[in-house]
Amino acid sequence: MTKIGVFETDLDTSYYRKKILKNESKIIKKYPPVDFNGVVSDGQTGLGTHSLTSRYFNCKLLTWFGTRSVRKWIRKSYDRYTDTENSPLYVMCWANVMRKGEKISPHIHSPNPLHLSGNISIYTDEKTNTYYEGDAIENTPGRLVLFPSNVAHWTDTYTGDSERITIAFDIVTYYDWKHMPDDAKPNWTKI
3 state DSSP class of 4: coil
Pairwise CA distance, residues 46 & 22, whole Å: 23
Residue of 188, 191, 190 whose CA lies nearest to 56: 188
Range of the domain at 57: 5-190
The pLDDT score that the predictor gives to residue 49 is 96
The pLDDT score that the predictor gives to residue 27 is 96
Give the number of domains in the chain: 1
Q: What tens digit of pLDDT does each residue of 141-188 get?
A: 999 999 999 999 999 999 999 999 999 999 999 999 999 999 899 999
pLDDT at 1 over 70: no
Q: For residue 38, is it left (φ>0), alpha (ψ between -120 and 50) or beta?
A: left
The pLDDT score that the predictor gives to residue 113 is 87
Confidence at 37, pLDDT banded by 50, 70, 90: confident
For the domain that residue 37 is a member of, what is the CATH number? 2.60.120.620
**Percentage of the residues of the chain whose pLDDT score is greater than 70:** 99
Pairwise CA distance, residues 86 & 90, whole Å: 12
The pLDDT score that the predictor gives to residue 35 is 85
pLDDT at 54 over 90: yes
Residue of 121, 126, 158 whose CA lies nearest to 142: 121
Secondary element (H or E) of residue 120: strand 116-123
The pLDDT score that the predictor gives to residue 4 is 96
Is pTM beyond 0.85? Reply is yes
Confidence at 38, pLDDT banded by 50, 70, 90: confident
**Averaged pLDDT score across all residues of the chain:** 95
